[in-house]
Amino acid sequence: MTLGRAGPEAGLTFARETAMTGSNTTPQRPRTPAPKAQGRRLGAAAATVAEASQTMKNQESLPLGIVLERRRIDNPWQDFDWRPVAVIPGAPACDPEGDWRVLGEGEDWIRYHGGTLSLELFRGETEGYKVNLSNDPPRVFVVLRGGEDAEGPHDVVPFLVTACPYEAQDYLDSGEDIVEGVPMPGVVLAWVQDFIDKHHVAVPFKKRKRERHDPDKVHFSRPGSAGSRGGRRG
């Protein structure tokens, strides 16, 4: 990198610029924003940094390698069954749609490191994490999705990992994805528990007070009953 220097070289540079532009006026300095505009920009930048910092405080992530098993099955409509069977904490980066590494194989099965995904924890989902950790054993839920390209190298690809059973249920209910829970490794369990301890806020149960019956108020009743609109009395 060449650094500019004051002196004759700077004068020559200015002379060349003057000859090219036909002007002997001094080049204008970059315009400085007005103080108010500059303050707004700095304020917006500070707010963006603060928001990003708060987001980082409210969530954490851990890379997990996804171990997939392909097993031959006796089915007239398909030759193989795919399912996640394990996760590898801290696994190296691996594109789920790229080349997979063979981890082991047998007569009718083969296991792959089928990509690495980030397991993300969010402060708003700690209740789900608590429910998960209360099960024996706790699980990491893996969502598999059909390959985007029918001509691609894989029939399915890992799409998402979550420690929240409620989120996993949402994907399962869609009916379009394969969702399986695999045993949660001890290091992941400790990490999730630490996140819960730092961020979970218990919501106190509030018993709803029963309102006194007011005959002047309109109340809803079952369709067809004597008190409902359009109902018939016996």
Q: In this structure, is residue 119 part of a structural domain?
A: yes
Q: What does the alpha-carbon distance between residue 198 and residue 141 come to, in Å, rounded to a whole number?
A: 22
96-124 average pLDDT score: 95
User: What's the mean pLDDT in 25-44?
Assistant: 46
Contacts of 153 (CB under 8 A, 6+ apart): 97, 99, 147
Q: In terms of pLDDT, which residue wins out, 21 or 95?
A: 95
Is residue 70 a part of any domain in this protein?
A: yes
Map tokens 């928001």 to a residue.
51
pLDDT band at 4 (very low <50, low <70, confident <90, very high): very low
Question: Percent of the chain scored above 90 by pLDDT?
Answer: 51
pLDDT given for residue 218 in this prediction: 45
- Residue 174: which domain range? 58-199
**Looking at the domain assignment, is residue 212 inside a domain?**
no
CA–CA distance, 53 with 56 (Å, rounded to integer): 5
* 113: CB partners within 8 A, 6+ apart: 65, 66, 67, 88, 91, 94, 100, 101, 103
Is position 179 within any domain? yes
pLDDT at 191: 97
Residue 211 lies in a domain: no
Q: What is the mean pLDDT of residues 21-28?
A: 41
Please check whether residue 189 lies inside any domain of the structure.
yes
How many domains would you assign to the chain? 1
Residue 133 lies in a domain: yes
> Would 68 be classed as within a structural domain?
yes
pLDDT of residue 94: 95
**Confidence at residue 78, expressed as pLDDT on a 0 to 100 scale:** 82
Q: What is the pTM (predicted TM-score) of this model?
A: 0.64
Please say whether the beta carbons of 180 and 84 come within 8 A: yes
> Residue 25: pLDDT above 60?
no
Q: Given pLDDT bands bounded at 50, 70 and 90, which one contains residue 88? A: very high
Question: What pLDDT digit, counting tens, does each position of 141-182 carry?
Answer: 999 998 665 456 888 999 999 999 999 999 999 888 999 999
d(CA 35, CA 39): 6
Longest CA pairwise span in the chain (Å) = 110
Residues contacting residue 54 through CB under 8 Å, at least 6 positions apart: none
Q: Average pLDDT over the chain, rounded to whole?
A: 74
Locate 149 and state its tokens.
């390209």
Tally Cβ neighbours within 10 Å of residue 20.
8
